[in-house]
Structure 1
């Protein structure tokens, strides 16, 4: 177990170095999140009225998850590139656990997304966001954010292993980018047309966003909603992780 963690840390550091040398990562993880936050506030802040809440306060959780989805495309492209060029195979024939290779990508994505989230929150505060100073609420929101990042990272790995090209990996990642828009992240689900409202109410991101919004603003959260949010995260994490490890074994066996 100790060796596996050591291998994972080394491979995480390797992925971090690759990200730092990639201009696309700088764009999607540093510049784009702040621009997205400002764009939604300035374009829609005066058009969309939320009862008893400023629009910037309403959309912060949605923008956070949208940026997580955006950053996941970088992970998909990195995994696809390394599998297609044979780099993943060369790394996995070393005396390391194969799972460490994927864990390295997941932990790098976690670090990158947390940095992105800090940038989004800083821009939001500059634009008038007023979160509550409630340590318990912030810990709850952070725990949910980490869970979502892990889920999206494993989904990105699956996409990267299934895609036949880097362009295809980037295109397939669009699902992770679109899902936050089809939730209560930017407008209340009740304000959407019938089919979209139904989808927004039953999809996993809506309870996650609602709990995060309430936690950051110091509002009381429904325990059932909290359990539903973490339950979705646990279910998707387990399923995506098992699928990702199986797809990696298949990809390496066919090289």
Structure 2
């Protein structure tokens, strides 16, 4: 088919792939960026699993719980942490392209307007898949096992990627709003307490009542609890409705984030030319 006769859908996909390929080539030429992004989760797992793991006890383990038992509880939470921190990488990449004029250059070219945003999303999902693969291999080497079956394990990883997909749009919106990459780096001050005040590292029932309630309603807690259940690992529920329905909320929370952040990101992107 002649190029002029191809549909808008074809060009949207083709232009999206060109944006993805551009980023992958950038990673290949400057591997330090992707090396740090893929290496940080391993460092975090080893730090929390071995440095702090000896002082921690798994939920329900009592005094007989071992560090290995805690690592089995921790690993799904570390998967969630890696997916959650990904929105900072998205925001940094978007604001860097905007700051250097790359985004404006793309917008001035005869390409599908959606390609800049969708290309970023596809690239980040591919990176997230690589991160989960590396983390899962590290976890298996540390003794973690997924005992929930093949279908349930696939469902758990799907929930993790669903969370990452939702946070991509938060990252894109923030990247279009923030003035520079330095401001994007300060997002860690938000991401760190968000992951700590959750059930990622310890059960919410071990926290003071008011703090435990906040942690239980943290969207990351729902994904962590749902993933643990699907992986066949220990699930520590505080008896609250949101914890008892973690699987449902692990689908609903990212859907709500997407419903809010995606329109904001599209609106901000369209407003760049004004």
Residue of structure 1 equivalent to 2:25? 17
Residue of structure 1 equivalent to 2:161? 146
Tell whether the 8 Å contact from 1:8 to 1:103 is kept in structure 2 after alignment. Answer: yes
Which shows bigger deviation, 188-197 or 173-182?
Answer: 173-182
Residue of structure 1 equivalent to 2:5? none
2:91 to 76, 80, 105: 76
Tell whether the 8 Å contact from 2:169 to 2:265 is kept in structure 1 after alignment. Answer: yes
2:35 to 26, 29, 36: 26
1:239 to 260, 263, 270: 260
Residue of structure 2 equivalent to 1:227? 248
1:166 to 176, 181, 206: 181
User: Could you list the runs of 5+ residues in structure 2 that have no partner in the other structure?
Assistant: 1-8, 238-242
Residue of structure 2 equivalent to 1:248? 269
Alpha-carbon shift at residue 173 of structure 1 (Å) = 4.9
- In the superposition, relative to structure 1, how do residues 96 and 117 fare at CA in structure 2: closer, same or farther (>3 Å)? same
Residue of structure 1 equivalent to 2:240? none
Alpha-carbon shift at residue 218 of structure 1 (Å) = 6.5
Which shows bigger deviation, 220-229 or 186-195?
Answer: 220-229
After superposition, the C-alpha distances for 1:73-129 in whole angstroms (9 at most, x for unaligned) are 222111101112211011012222222101111111111111111111111111111
Q: With structure 1 as the length reference, what TM-score do the two structures score?
A: 0.91
User: Equivalent residues in 2 for 1:1-255 (5 A)?
Assistant: 1-20=9-28, 21-29=30-38, 31-50=39-58, 51-52=60-61, 54-132=69-147, 134-217=149-232, 224-250=245-271, 252-254=272-274
Aligned length: 252
Q: CA RMSD in A?
A: 2.2
Over alpha carbons, which structure has the higher Rg? 2
Tell whether the 8 Å contact from 2:83 to 2:161 is kept in structure 1 after alignment. Answer: no
